[in-house]
Structure 1
Amino acid sequence: MDALLLSRIQFGFVISFHIMFPAFTIGLAHWLAFCEWRWLRTRDSVWRDIYFFWLRIFAISFGMGVVSGIVMSFQFGTNWAVLSERAGNILGPLMTYEVLTAFFLEATFLGVMLFGARKVPEKLHFFATCMVALGTLISTFWIISANSWMHTPAGYTLTAAGVFEPADWSQIVFNPSFPYRLAHMVLAAFITTCFVIGGVSAGYLWRREHVAPARRMLTMAVLFASLAVPAQIFVGDLHGLEVGKYQPTKLAAIESHWDAGEPGAGVPLVLFAWPDPQAERNDYEVALPRVGSLILTHSWAGEIRPLTAVPREERPPVAPVFFSFRVMVGLGLAMLALAWASTLQLRRGRLVESRWLVNGWRWMTFAGFVALLTGWYVAEIGRQPWVVYSLLRTADAVSPTLSTASVVTSMVAFVAAYAVIFGAGIWYIRKLVRQGPLPHDPGPESDEGERRPKRPLSVDSPFEGEAIREARS
């Protein structure tokens, strides 16, 4: 392993950790704003219990996201100095805008959100929660803009020394892939958080704990997922059309499409295969004729450019892209089936009595994280060997004086530090989840952090028939 490969592995390791926490906090911040809005509208104490329960988890997740983000930004200078030198005039301002417009906004109101419940008026506290949620969206806007520009660069001029200079900032920010990637990422963050909330609440119902808030959380998760998951599939389809237009080699790798085949024969939908890059073929292939054309081009006889149309050195690693995409799509379809089946049972009033659906939400708690990571692997591995697509190779962007020993040393340090920091953070989040949403009174006469006994099981306890509940009443 040379310094280039190790640097790629190190950056992939760091960003895999980092992306999970901001994505979770994007969705969680908006969930908190919704819960506090419901509390202010209804004065139902259950909503306030739910709010403060997830607020503690949000605080820990937000902190871990900041820590991992700082580490990642340093790598642009240490491991990818040539990228910083040649594309810094564009990427640097975009990331600076993220700090000025989003991070400062979040930092300003985060303290009020976390510690101001008993110190500021309720409406001001709700405003602070909304500002933090807005800050997460603004942050996503700028980061996705910078990343999308590296996939579909626009609005630049290239000097004789190979340095990118901004020519039109509107084209840089709103580059061709940006709208689709932004919508896809925001929906992915919301869905990830939705399934965590649904999975946690299903766990409480399964164990017959915190039944009232768990019912409410699961209901909200089901309703949101039933709308957001099909919206994500629709946006993903639009994004796929954009990839076929601007990054056809990535699309060919996603489908492991090696040869053009007979004219008019269309593109098959490969359900499973084992890509063989050396032989330029698929082994053990299971495919549906022409269905790939219908999905990828919206035409029964549509064609996409095969991998053999470009030289070997310009193709991405096919197997990671091919399998990651199928994991992402498979989880998306499983989420859709679970959400719609749960919605049907919810309308019938039998959701929490359905053991297989409740158990399904438990098993799918972390499905959003897996789909999120595999989606990023498709996007980032699929654009290889380019770091700025078709303009700057990854091999040419690494720091020229970087040694293998230094990358190994920093990688070991990252793994050890992440094991301690994120291990402790995840352990504490798990502890908060096991404790559950306890009754909370923010008034001055109560202790905000005081533990109270769990609510006893009520007649709303799940998995009991109507006759038993009536008898207990």
Structure 2
Amino acid sequence: MDALVLSRIQFAANISFHILFPTINIALGWFLVYFRLRGNLARGHQDARYWEEAYYLWTKVFALSFALGVVSGITMSFQFGTNWPGFMEKAGNIAGPLLGYEVLTAFFLEATFLGIMLFGRSRVSDRVHLFASLMVAAGTTLSAFWILSLNSWMQTPVGYRIEDGVMYADSWLQIVFNPSFPYRLAHKLLASTITASFLIAGLSAYQYLTKANNGGSLKAMRTAITVAAVAVPLQIVAGDLHGLNTLEHQPAKIAALEGLWKTEKSAPLTLFGIPNEAERRTDYAIKLPGFASLILAHDWNAELKGLDQFEGRHPPVAPVFWSFRVMVGMGVLMLLASWWAFWTQWRGRAFQDRQPFSRMQLRVLAGMTFSGWIATLAGWYVTEIGRQPFIVYGVLRTADMVADHPPGLVLITLVSYLAVYAFLLAAYVLVLMYMSRHPAMPTPDAPQSPKPGMAIGGPA
């Protein structure tokens, strides 16, 4: 493999590791705001201590995720200079300010109030602590705003001019709010909501399975299941709108993810198959006639452009094809799991005030703890690999932006990154499991619930 392929793999490894943690924290921050608000409103009631316990455990998860996200984000940003200097040389006048806005607004806002949120519970009033939690949550969302704006601009570039091969901004309003930005931002925020929901529900279920639950476990799990049951259908709608936008601006990506080799009307939907790029066909394909046109263009007779229209300008088919199906398949599983759990939860609330889930349901929820990560990574690969062979779609080719490093040097750094990230990821998961089995208790000045193993209204 040459330096181009190795550098792409290295950047993909870095961003794959990094994206795991913002995907949790964007929505987890708002869960913490909700837990804090419910605890404040229930002050003087026994529910206050349960919300307090939920808040304390998940602030520690947030802090751990925040630390890993910051470290991996810094490493990733370095690679713009070390591996992709051509990108910053050609598009740095646009990418640089957008990254700078993220640091100056979102990151500083998070960093300023994170200390109060983590360590100020017994030192500030309830309102100030709630405000600090709100500012941290707002900071994570604002960070997603700027990063998704840059990424969306790279997918659908507008508002620029080129002079002597260098890109300059003509309209920052067009750059920030480029054609695909609203759809990508909505899709990402919902993805974070679903990921955090399943993480909370899964670890709470794990607490019940290991008899380490407390009153906060049930509060957190019920909240997460309710949010997931609403967010997954909304994500399906957002994904459909995002698909329509992609069909308009990046038809080559749509052709790759659907395995459309030739332009045709009433194009069939390929459920499964094995893309054969050498022969330009999909082997062993299972197809539904006309459904690709119906789903992608909302018109049974619509003509969809095939890969034959983008010779030399379309992404590798197999990674995009399979990543899309993994994302959709995981989404369907999440829909079924969240609705099943929500139905059980609703019936349990109607007849009893304790944990209503069977051990089988708890195992399913625990097994899907990190399902949001799988769907997020698959969707991210569709987005990023589907943009190839361009780094700025239709303008700058990826092959022209890479640094001319010896392949051996890139390989050494790639292996080093992979080893470190594998260790950190394993450590992160093990720490989450440990914290779940040993849930953090509130500070002495806050009320505490019964001993672990007891649910609201009775034993687990």
What is the TM-score of this pair, normalised by structure 2? Answer: 0.94
Which amino acid counterpart does residue 458 of structure 2 have in structure 1? D
Q: 1:248 maps to which residue?
A: 251
Give the Cα separation in 2 of the matches to 1:362 and 1:426.
Answer: 13
Q: 1:57 maps to which residue?
A: 61
Kept after mapping to 1: 8 A contact 2:214/2:452: no
Does 1:443 find its partner at 2:449?
no
Kept after mapping to 1: 8 A contact 2:155/2:387: yes
Of 427, 431, 447, the match for 2:430:
427
Give the Cα separation in 2 of the matches to 1:416 and 1:270.
Answer: 37
Does 1:173 find its partner at 2:172?
no
Q: Give a deviation string over 1:144-199, Cα, whole Å, max 9, x none.
A: 0000000000000011x211100000000000000000000011011100001111
Aligned alpha-carbon RMSD (Å): 2.0
Give the Cα separation in 1 of the matches to 2:302 and 2:418.
Answer: 46
Give the Cα separation in 1 of the matches to 2:391 and 2:432.
Answer: 35
Bigger mean CA deviation after superposition, 349-358 or 186-195: 349-358
Q: 2:342 maps to which residue?
A: 343
Give the Cα separation in 1 of the matches to 2:201 and 2:40.
Answer: 23
Does 1:363 find its partner at 2:367?
yes
Does 1:386 find its partner at 2:390?
yes
Kept after mapping to 1: 8 A contact 2:2/2:407: yes
Distance 1:380-1:458 versus aligned 2 partners, 3 A rule: closer
Q: CA deviation at 1:357?
A: 2.9
Give the Cα separation in 1 of the matches to 2:426 and 2:289.
Answer: 47
Give the Cα separation in 2 of the matches to 1:106 and 1:78.
Answer: 28
Q: CA deviation at 1:205?
A: 2.7
Q: CA deviation at 1:229?
A: 0.6
Q: 1:192 maps to which residue?
A: 195
Percent identity reads 47
What is the DSSP-based 3-state SS (H/G/I as helix, E as strand, rest coil) of the residue aligned with 1:258? coil
State the number of aligned residues.
Answer: 451
Bigger mean CA deviation after superposition, 331-340 or 171-180: 331-340
Q: 1:112 maps to which residue?
A: 116
5 Å-filtered alignment, 1:386-425, equals 386-399=390-403, 401-425=404-428
Q: CA deviation at 1:442?
A: 4.5
Give the Cα separation in 1 of the matches to 2:426 and 2:24.
Answer: 17
Give the Cα separation in 2 of the matches to 1:340 and 1:411.
Answer: 41
Does 1:237 find its partner at 2:234?
no
Which amino acid counterpart does residue 291 of structure 1 have in structure 2? F
5 Å-filtered alignment, 1:51-130, equals 51-130=55-134
Q: CA deviation at 1:431?
A: 1.5
Q: 1:317 maps to which residue?
A: 316
Distance 1:456-1:219 versus aligned 2 partners, 3 A rule: closer
Q: 2:328 maps to which residue?
A: 329
What is the DSSP-based 3-state SS (H/G/I as helix, E as strand, rest coil) of the residue aligned with 2:433? helix
Distance 1:456-1:296 versus aligned 2 partners, 3 A rule: closer
Q: CA deviation at 1:458?
A: 6.8
What is the TM-score of this pair, normalised by structure 1? Answer: 0.91
Give the Cα separation in 2 of the matches to 1:353 and 1:80.
Answer: 50
Q: CA deviation at 1:28?
A: 1.3
Q: CA deviation at 1:41?
A: 0.4
Q: CA deviation at 1:302?
A: 1.4
Give the Cα separation in 2 of the matches to 1:157 and 1:212.
Answer: 58
Give the Cα separation in 2 of the matches to 1:303 and 1:461.
Answer: 60
Distance 1:424-1:199 versus aligned 2 partners, 3 A rule: closer
> Any stretches of 5+ residues in structure 1 without a counterpart?
463-473
Kept after mapping to 2: 8 A contact 1:208/1:461: no
Q: Give a deviation string over 1:32-85, Cα, whole Å, max 9, x none.
A: 111000000012100001101111111111000000000000000010000000
Q: 1:41 maps to which residue?
A: 41
Q: Give a deviation string over 1:306-330, Cα, whole Å, max 9, x none.
A: 011121x212110110111011011
Which amino acid counterpart does residue 318 of structure 2 have in structure 1? A
5 Å-filtered alignment, 1:251-266, equals 251-261=254-264, 264=265, 266=266
Give the Cα separation in 2 of the matches to 1:166 and 1:353.
Answer: 55
Q: CA deviation at 1:349?
A: 1.6
What is the DSSP-based 3-state SS (H/G/I as helix, E as strand, rest coil) of the residue aligned with 2:304? coil
> Any stretches of 5+ residues in structure 2 without a counterpart?
350-354
Q: 1:468 maps to which residue?
A: none
Q: CA deviation at 1:421?
A: 4.1
Q: 2:352 maps to which residue?
A: none
Q: Give a deviation string over 1:197-237, Cα, whole Å, max 9, x none.
A: 11111222334441532222221122111111111110000
What is the DSSP-based 3-state SS (H/G/I as helix, E as strand, rest coil) of the residue aligned with 1:349? helix
Distance 1:147-1:229 versus aligned 2 partners, 3 A rule: same
Q: CA deviation at 1:258?
A: 0.7
Kept after mapping to 2: 8 A contact 1:212/1:460: no
Any runs of at least 4 consecutive aligned residues in structure 1 with deviations exceeding 6 A, and if so which?
Answer: none
Does 1:308 find its partner at 2:315?
no
Q: CA deviation at 1:410?
A: 1.8
Which amino acid counterpart does residue 245 of structure 1 have in structure 2? E
What is the DSSP-based 3-state SS (H/G/I as helix, E as strand, rest coil) of the residue aligned with 1:283? strand
Kept after mapping to 2: 8 A contact 1:60/1:429: no
What is the DSSP-based 3-state SS (H/G/I as helix, E as strand, rest coil) of the residue aligned with 2:365? helix
Of 209, 219, 225, the match for 1:222:
225
